[in-house]
Structures are given as structure tokens and as C-alpha cells.
Structure 1
Amino acid sequence: MTLGSAVAGRSVVVRVPATSANLGPGFDTLGLALAIYDELVVTATDERGVVVDVTGVGKGEVPTDESNLVASSIAYTFARVGQPVPGLHLSANNVIPHGGGLGSSAAAIVSGVMAAKGLLEGIAELDIDLMLEIATELEGHPDNVAPALFGGLTIAWTADSVPRARKLLVHRAVSPLVFVPGHSVSTAVARSLQPASVPFEDAVFNLSRSALLIAALTQSPELLFEATEDRLHQDYRASAMPETNSLVHTLRDHRFAAVVSGAGPSILVLASQPSDRAAAAVLVAEHAENPWRATMAAVDFKGATVKAHQVEVKPQQ
């Protein structure tokens, strides 16, 4: 059955970066976009239903129908702006690890919102504030979707229940290094270990470190080690990821600015110069009980992008 959709035949390419939230003290507030990307091609069709082809991370594991997170995010965004949902064909090349604390679900949601924006070009307007609002509604909190949308370092907050974010440029000397294990940790499990209240002095401690971290990431990278100290969440969640906790402490014992990336179990090291990353990688290789993949990633400064997909038509012979 055909739908007669106004967007049928349109096709877009979407590219969304991985993200690391919290960055140590900035719990549920700070996020950083990393130059590790999921990319997909989305085509609107005139037929009912959703078809999803997946290569890379999640192949054979993630849903390939309308329950796929990217597809459901597209449908939600269309409905949010009062537009009928077309048939969809998604071709996804996933690189961001799933369940690793690098914003894979945020990337999928932002991919869907960006795809909807591209498909609805000239039909319905989706400005950046609305996209942040929709993505936050789907994700539940803005700390990962904000850097995925904007790139760079983002500060996220809510005002009158509406999500807001501010993007800051990261100092060029900041050199991220990501360690990804071969296992995942549920974000829900990690959050369940968080206490309902914390000591007053710990709250003050994290306030000071969060403010210092903004300065370290934007102006003074030499302060990154002190600026990434945390007392609000990482130690409480340690039991869910003991090897992550052990390696973070080992790295910090050697003066590396290491933190749990998001809800874990991946680790983010914020080096103040590129050469420090090699030394950190050697340290983890020496102390890890299980294999960890090290990725020397740059900071992504652009955030999510969408453009029309031009299908190459080969001339007949």
C-alpha cells in the first residue's frame, strides 16, 4: 500500500559523533564530542514499513524494523512537527560501541532527529533548539545529545523543564584517548548505584572541579588532572565495573586525567599533549586484566551533520 508521502524519494546522509558525558566532576551536565562517527543513509519511500540494514557495531543485534532506535526517533520527530511518517529505508554504518559509555543511544537518537530534519527540508522547520528538545525527550537527559548535536564541549541544563545547552571551543592542546573494553554496562544499573544524597563537602568539591574543568578544557590544559577529580558518582558506581575503576585509579596514580566515560565502562583520558596518550596506552596494556581497545580520538568540533544523498546513476553501456 502506498502512502503518497510528500517526502517519498528523498534521501539524506547523517553523520553523528560519539560523546563522553560527565568528564569526571560534571555529572549530568558536561559533555564532549569525539571524532568517532556513526553514519547512515536514510531514504523515505512511498511504501509502508521500515527496513534497516546495519554494518559494523550492532549488526545482527539491533532491531531492523520500526523499533530500531534511529527509525523510532525519525517517526517521533515527524509526529512532533505534525507530519505523517513515510516508509523508511535505513543503511547504517555503526562505529560507536554500544553500552560503552560513549553515547551510542544519544547518537542513534540524534541521527533520527537529523534525518527527519533533512527529509523535511522545505516542509517543516526544525531549528536547533527544537532538535535539542526532541532529542532530550527521547534520551531523558541532554548531557550526551547536546555534544552530539553541537560538537565540542557542551554545558547542558534545563530551565522551566526546557533543555538548554552552550557550546564551548576546546583548547587545541587537549588530546582525548578512549579505552573500550570488550564488555558493556547498563546505564540503568550504573545509575541505580547513585545515592539519593551526597555529603555537602563532596557537592562543594565537585562544584569547584566542574568550574575548573571548563577553564582547563578551554584555556589551561595543564590543569586537567586536578580538574577531573570527582566525588559524586564514579566511586559509587565502581562495583558495577571493577576493572574500569582499577584502571582509572592506576592512570590517575600516574597523573593522567582519567575518568569514567559516561556511565562506563569505557575510560576517557584527557591528555594535555598528544605524546602523553602513548604513555597512558602502555600503562593500561600493562595493568589490564582483559583486552582494552585504545583509540586516540580528536575532539569533534562540528557535531551532527545532514546533507542530501546524491545517488550515483551509472550510464548504460
Structure 2
Amino acid sequence: MNERSVRVRVPATSANLGPGFDALGVACTLYNEMTLTLTHEKGLHISARGEGAAYIPGDERNIVWKSIQYLLQRADRAEEFQGAKIRMNNRIPLSRGLGSSATAIVAGLTAANAIVGSPFSRDDLLQLATDIEGHPDNVAPAIFGGFTVNTVTNGHVECFSFLPRIFMRFVVMVPDFYLSTKSAREVLPSEVPMKDAVFNVSHAAMMVAALARGSEKHLGNAFEDALHQNYRASLIPGMFDVFAAAKKAGAYGAVLSGAGPCLIAFAPEHRKCTEEVAAAMQEAFLAHDVKARPLHLRLDTKGARVLHRKESSVKKK
């Protein structure tokens, strides 16, 4: 009897990017890796090390396992593979706004898809991942890499992934506290003024145009937002001061990463600038009694990848 194993790597992501609420995302060079072995016998063995390992469920509640099961059911292979061995090596901080849950979903789907012969395309995986996650802004860049523009029309998800003509680095400040997506969503209003909606449509469009065309001068105000950051500011002490400090130190702009509490600055491609931006953001956070550590990241251009495949024979006892 054969067991099939694959090892996959999935990038961290940042969603919204300021004005692109639930629509824009970016993949970053920080990765979780997972090795999946599907077994014909029932039984679930999950191990995790690294970021947040102590908080990751080791049973049926695990989101990686749920995603694997979802794909197997859709592929009509759930009866064939009833158990799994899952080993996770996590580098992406948990519950910080860097797409850790999306990474888990995409890892499970990508690995299971590879094991059963890749019946689903990346577009198919995007739809499955969005079904699980509820919105595509994190799962899309995790699958495709690059900057992504995502739409959902009558339940159908589409993603346009592109590489910007402006080379930049990302400075991510990771505060020393957690913030659940649920809590960050609860502070948002159910309706917003028309002027705020227009503000965000125009700024999100300007950002995509500036990145695609390579126009740095049009990025200066493109990261501004009126739909979610104002409402979430009370959850992250000093947020707007940190944004201002990043821009003053040379960043194009800074935004809340996903639902937070991480903040991400988009900086020109030279190391001295990113170091100055990181120091300025760290100092601004400290002024509000928040300790934060910097991550210096670049754009991931590949998205989720299968790193290794293995098939081995297992003798029945």
C-alpha cells in the first residue's frame, strides 16, 4: 500500500494595502512550510514548530486538515484518503495580520491537490480557498504571489496578479500583542458614507495604476484609506503616528496589514532607507508604550509552491 507525501511552501501576505479593503493583497518573502502525508487508514497526526506552535490545534479543528478534507471531498477522493500526517514549520506570526490562516488554508489545498494528481488549477484553488476563508484578499496572493487585485462576482472569484514596475521593500512592524480578525471586524460599521466609498475606489485605483506604470510620484497619497483604518485605530495605540513616522523617514506610505496589529510600510529599494523607516516606526510605537519588532521583507513572486514529492510503500501489519 502506498503513502504519498508532499512538502509545500506558502508565503505570508498582507491584505487591503490601505484603500483596497478585501480586494488588494501582496505576497511577502516570509514562509510557512508544511509536509503532508495522506494515509488510507483513519488517524490524524499533527505536529507544529515555530511561530504560534503552542496555539495550533492538533486535532480535527485544525484549519489545514479541514482544508485538505474540503479538497478531497471536491475531488471525490475522501473515501480513499481518510487520515493524514501533517508537519508544520511556521515562520509567519500568528494573529498579527500577515495571513497566517490563509497560509494554512492554501498549504492544505496545495498539498492535497498535488497528492491526488493536481485535478484543480490555481484558479480552482482560489475559489476553494475563498469558500473556506470567506474573502480572497489573503488567499489570492498566497496562491499566485505578487500584488493581487481580487474580485468576487456572484460568488465567482477572480484574481489579477502582477509585478510592479517600482522596486520596493516592505518594513513590517510586529507589535507584542495579538489581535483577532473577528475583533477587528466587529469595530467596522455596516454602512459607510458615499464620499468615503468614492475616496477608497479612487485611491485603490491610483495605487494599482502607479505600481503597474512605475510612477512613484502617484504613490504619495495612494495608500490613504477611509473605510476601515479610522475605525480600527483604537485597537492599535499610535497607529497613525507610526504611519506618519514611516513616511517622514522615506517610505511611500504605511498601512495596517490586514486586520492588524502589524503595520506595513512600503519603502524604496535601498537598505539604508528601510533601516531608517524601521527605526522611525519602532520609536513611534514606543512613544505609545508598544514594543514592536521589524521584519524586512521583499515581494514574493511565486506564491504557493510544491517543493518535494515522495511516494513510499507501507506494509500492512
Q: Calculate the TM-score normalised by the size of structure 1.
A: 0.91
Give the secondary structure class of the aligned counterpart of 1:288.
helix
**Contact 1:173 / 1:272 at 8 angstroms: preserved in 2?**
yes
2:169 aligns to what?
175
1:158-204 deviation per Cα after TM superposition (whole angstroms, max 9, x unaligned):
12211111111123522111111111111111111111222222222
Q: Are residues 1:193 and 2:166 paired?
A: no
Give the secondary structure class of the aligned counterpart of 2:54.
coil
Bigger mean CA offset, 221-230 vs 26-35 = 221-230
Matches of 2:4 and 2:164, distance apart in 1: 36
1:236 aligns to what?
231
Q: Are residues 1:107 and 2:103 paired?
A: yes
1:315 aligns to what?
none
**Contact 1:177 / 1:294 at 8 angstroms: preserved in 2?**
yes
Following superposition, the deviation at residue 291 of structure 1 comes to 2.1
1:288 aligns to what?
285
**Contact 1:17 / 1:35 at 8 angstroms: preserved in 2?**
yes
Return the letter of the residue paired with 1:295: L
2:199 aligns to what?
205
1:223 aligns to what?
218
Q: Are residues 1:297 and 2:297 paired?
A: yes
Following superposition, the deviation at residue 241 of structure 1 comes to 1.7
Return the letter of the residue paired with 1:288: F
Give the secondary structure class of the aligned counterpart of 1:117.
helix
Match of 2:91 among 88, 95, 107: 95
Q: Are residues 1:23 and 2:17 paired?
A: yes
**Contact 1:25 / 1:232 at 8 angstroms: preserved in 2?**
yes
Give the secondary structure class of the aligned counterpart of 2:172.
strand
**Contact 1:77 / 1:116 at 8 angstroms: preserved in 2?**
yes
1:65 aligns to what?
59
- Structure 1 gap ranges (5+): 313-317
Return the letter of the residue paired with 1:302: K
1:96-143 deviation per Cα after TM superposition (whole angstroms, max 9, x unaligned):
11110010000000001001111101xx61112211111001000011
**Contact 1:21 / 1:262 at 8 angstroms: preserved in 2?**
yes
Matches of 1:267 and 1:39, distance apart in 2: 24
Following superposition, the deviation at residue 64 of structure 1 comes to 1.2
Matches of 2:194 and 2:247, distance apart in 1: 24
1:65-113 deviation per Cα after TM superposition (whole angstroms, max 9, x unaligned):
2221111110111012211233111110001111100100000000010
2:113 aligns to what?
117
Following superposition, the deviation at residue 253 of structure 1 comes to 5.5
**Contact 1:178 / 1:295 at 8 angstroms: preserved in 2?**
yes
- Structure 2 gap ranges (5+): 313-317
Matches of 1:133 and 1:117, distance apart in 2: 13
Following superposition, the deviation at residue 43 of structure 1 comes to 0.9
Following superposition, the deviation at residue 252 of structure 1 comes to 4.1
Bigger mean CA offset, 230-239 vs 288-297 = 288-297
Give the secondary structure class of the aligned counterpart of 2:167.
coil
Match of 2:276 among 276, 279, 296: 279
**Contact 1:238 / 1:245 at 8 angstroms: preserved in 2?**
yes
Give the secondary structure class of the aligned counterpart of 1:225.
coil
Matches of 1:176 and 1:93, distance apart in 2: 23
Describe the shift of the 1:311–1:57 C-alpha distance in structure 2 as closer, same or farther (beyond 3 A): farther
Name the one with the larger strand percent: 2
Match of 2:152 among 158, 162, 178: 158
Following superposition, the deviation at residue 307 of structure 1 comes to 4.0
Give the secondary structure class of the aligned counterpart of 2:198.
helix
Match of 2:131 among 129, 133, 137: 137
1:39 aligns to what?
33
1:30-71 deviation per Cα after TM superposition (whole angstroms, max 9, x unaligned):
000001000011112233111111110122221112221111
Q: How many residues align?
A: 304
User: After TM superposition, where is structure 1 displaced by more than 6 Å over at least 4 residues in a row?
Assistant: none
Matches of 2:245 and 2:301, distance apart in 1: 30
Return the letter of the residue paired with 1:306: V
Please tell me the root mean square deviation across aligned C-alpha atoms, in Å: 1.9
